[in-house]
Structure 1
Amino acid sequence: MSILRFTGYLAAILLGTQPAMADEKWWPSPWGADDEAGNTNYMTPAKTLAATALIKQGVVVKLGHDYHAEMPIPVGRVFALRIPGAPTSKPLGSNRVIYNDEFLTAEIGQVGTQMDGFGHMGLTLGDEADRTKMTFYNGVTAQQMMTPRGLIKNGVEKLKPIFTRGILIDLEGGLGHTLAAGYEVTVDDINKTLAWQGMSADDIQPGDALLLHTGWGRLWMVDNQKYASGEPGPGQAAATWLAGKKLVLVGMDNWSIDVMPNKNAPDIAVPAHITLLLKNGILLHENLKLSDLASRQQYQFAYIFTPLPIRGATGSPGSPIAVY
């Protein structure tokens, strides 16, 4: 499967055409009709203190990939860094100081490790040209939310910093194989892996960050074409189960969380995005590097990430960390 198929999947994500899922009203949010922070509202002092109790050794693990032009990037998207002048300045002062600045051009979505915010994904509940029927988190419409220069509602700057308990579910280890493109992660897979780790579903608490390690991320910078050709991920049933856990976020070692291709529901675009992000206020962290945690069998840790407060943005780049 080619990188062009990858672009086709992204087109499905951006269009968000979900006729089978579009007639269910998912708003107002349990956090209130005006809420724009979703389940980051679970980030309380008590939740932070509970996460710090998991830090025993002081080990910090970076969960994000380096950003550079050679990383897997969808066709038509850009990551370009330039240093004008190289060095940028002429010598300054009697001590002849020089400096460098950079110019960075990039999209956020699917460009390296990044988090989807609540302005990213919506459903069209009427005519495809009617902005009053294009509906996003908490019932906010495109007419209310969108401008060419950014969002005026549901922007990523409205999210609260995340400092919480992280749980790794090592599906590759628990199931005994690397999950392939098109493999639909099931609730049974999750429960089986939790048991293999000496845990159970009851260990998952509201406000936790849940990370699913499939092994697909091992292809990053090894076989970018294959990495982009599809991915394992949760289908509708597992997404509904995850939503019931009231998580702050779900993260994976793939580029879009959802199973691609979705063989069991080929006409439904990105059901995990719709169920988790749009309808339940659960953020999605994509293109994570989870192999280090898996190899260390470190299944619980403090998960720390502050979205870049880019006013009006639909998501955020940046590398989360796990501390244990």
Structure 2
Amino acid sequence: MKNAGAVLSLAVAAAAYPSMGPYERVSRIFDRSVDLYADWPSYDQLPLNSSYPTKAAWGVWGADDQLGALNHITNDTILAASQTIQDGLAFPLNLRLDVPDPPSNAARKPLSHLYMPQDGYTDDVLVMNTQISTQFDGLRHYPYSTNNSVYTYQWYNDLIADYEDVIGPKPTEALGLQVSAEKGIAVRAVLFDFAGWMDATNQTFDPFTDFQINPGQLDEVADWQNMPEDWSQPGDMLIIRTGWVRQYNTLNITERALLRVQNWPYIGLEASDRTLRWLWEKKLSLIGADNPAVESSSFIAEIDGAMRNLHQVFIGGWGMSIVEFLYLEELVPAMHSRNRWNFFLTIQNLNVVSGIASPPNALAIL
């Protein structure tokens, strides 16, 4: 939010103009104890109701579901993921909380770290925007909207009536960060080292441009990494190394400040139906990257005939959280030296009721 006045005006507007709806509830019928994927819809069958937003997966996990793509994580997928632990090597995937410095978005204030000396002990106080540094975007962070209008906000599964339920004095708990925190996230993560592949094949690219990574290129990365054709398993987290953090680490203080002032573009996934189709079929629980948004800064594109971005479809549509600014620069060499492309990953979000986002506290174990 830009300022308190803006928050107030948005709250008033949201109260006066609730989000679009109501909708005729349509849900997939399945029995978790028998077949989690019974009657699983194809990408072309999304949404289940034509009144739902572009390619939304509302109702796929039930009309009242709040977990979204985290439903792909089960006891069995966690046990299977644990089998990827071979060497007992742990790699934290989190940037320091004050990196990037300054934050990439000028509207977001940097970390404030205060010390409180006491009699015989010392406390410290952290004040931070959860959209700085490495971050886990919860399902309240990014709704569908038309022209960024608060009047048309639509959250996952239509579980939030209007914006006041998110930012008002008495927010609801629906889709709050506590849902994912209390679920617990342990997955098999699959790394696509796009930057490494580009280097190895002598292709030039600049992570500080709106270079768009498409599924065809990711398939080539998979071949380069000697991944099997059926590399994905339900519950996987897909992680893409774009090279953004690597390049950021080469900048001096002045260049880092200019990066934000000049609003430099950034590399990332292409916003398109072919990207979404490629991802939906893999039944991913999460998606992440080392760049500012996972998707490219080009952002808006035509998806199923509407101008949308991947944030809208991922978070508002599929209930799939995004992890941004992952630190992969120590993990990747260790994986390549072992000819690895998957690993065990845990995420533990802050358990904040009605929360929006959190540092992921992401840990990779090889």
Partner in structure 1 of residue 168 of structure 2: 148
Q: 1:272 to 1:282 in 2, by over 3 A?
A: same
**CA drift at 1:134:** 2.0
Find the partner of 1:39 among 38, 62, 69.
69
**CA drift at 1:289:** 0.7
Partners of 1:172 and 1:229 in 2: CA distance: 19
Partners of 1:214 and 1:127 in 2: CA distance: 27
Partner in structure 2 of residue 173 of structure 1: 196
Q: 1:65 to 1:292 in 2, by over 3 A?
A: same
Partner in structure 2 of residue 230 of structure 1: 265
**CA drift at 1:241:** 1.7
Partner in structure 1 of residue 211 of structure 2: 183
Q: 1:51 to 1:89 in 2, by over 3 A?
A: same
Q: Structure 2: 5+ residue runs without aligned partners?
A: 1-51
Partners of 1:108 and 1:167 in 2: CA distance: 25
- Aligned positions of 1:1-324 closer than 5 A: 24=54, 26-68=56-98, 71-73=101-103, 74-85=105-116, 88-90=117-119, 98-109=120-131, 111-124=132-145, 128=149, 130=151, 133-143=152-162, 145-149=165-169, 150-159=171-180, 160-176=183-199, 177=203, 178-180=205-207, 181-223=209-251, 224=256, 225-226=258-259, 229-235=264-270, 236=272, 237-262=274-299, 271-296=309-334, 297=336, 298-324=340-366
Q: 1:270 to 1:303 in 2, by over 3 A?
A: farther
- Alpha-carbon contact 2:178-2:354 (below 8 Å) kept: yes
AA of the residue aligned to 2:174: K
Q: 1:140 to 1:169 in 2, by over 3 A?
A: same
- Alpha-carbon contact 2:301-2:308 (below 8 Å) kept: no
AA of the residue aligned to 2:327: K
Partners of 2:63 and 2:242 in 1: CA distance: 36
Partners of 1:72 and 1:204 in 2: CA distance: 37
**CA drift at 1:83:** 3.1
- Alpha-carbon contact 1:71-1:221 (below 8 Å) kept: no
AA of the residue aligned to 1:231: Y
CA RMSD in angstroms comes to 2.9
**CA drift at 1:244:** 2.6
- Alpha-carbon contact 2:177-2:356 (below 8 Å) kept: yes
Q: Structure 1: 5+ residue runs without aligned partners?
A: 1-21, 91-97
Q: 1:51 to 1:72 in 2, by over 3 A?
A: farther
Could you report, residue by residue, the CA deviation over 1:89-139 in whole angstroms, capped at 9, with x for unpaired residues? 13xxxxxxx211122211112x00001111111123699454xx4211112
Partners of 1:203 and 1:295 in 2: CA distance: 20
Which consecutive segments of 4 or more residues in structure 1 shift more than 4 A? Answer: 262-265
Partners of 1:140 and 1:147 in 2: CA distance: 15
**CA drift at 1:205:** 1.4
Q: TM-score, normalised by structure 2?
A: 0.72
- Alpha-carbon contact 2:54-2:317 (below 8 Å) kept: no
**CA drift at 1:58:** 0.2
Partners of 1:127 and 1:121 in 2: CA distance: 10
**CA drift at 1:79:** 3.0
- Indicate the SS of the match to 1:65: coil
**CA drift at 1:57:** 0.6
Identity %: 24
AA of the residue aligned to 2:139: F
Q: 1:127 to 1:215 in 2, by over 3 A?
A: closer
Q: 1:264 to 1:315 in 2, by over 3 A?
A: closer
Partners of 1:250 and 1:263 in 2: CA distance: 19
- Alpha-carbon contact 2:91-2:363 (below 8 Å) kept: yes
Q: 1:231 to 1:23 in 2, by over 3 A?
A: same
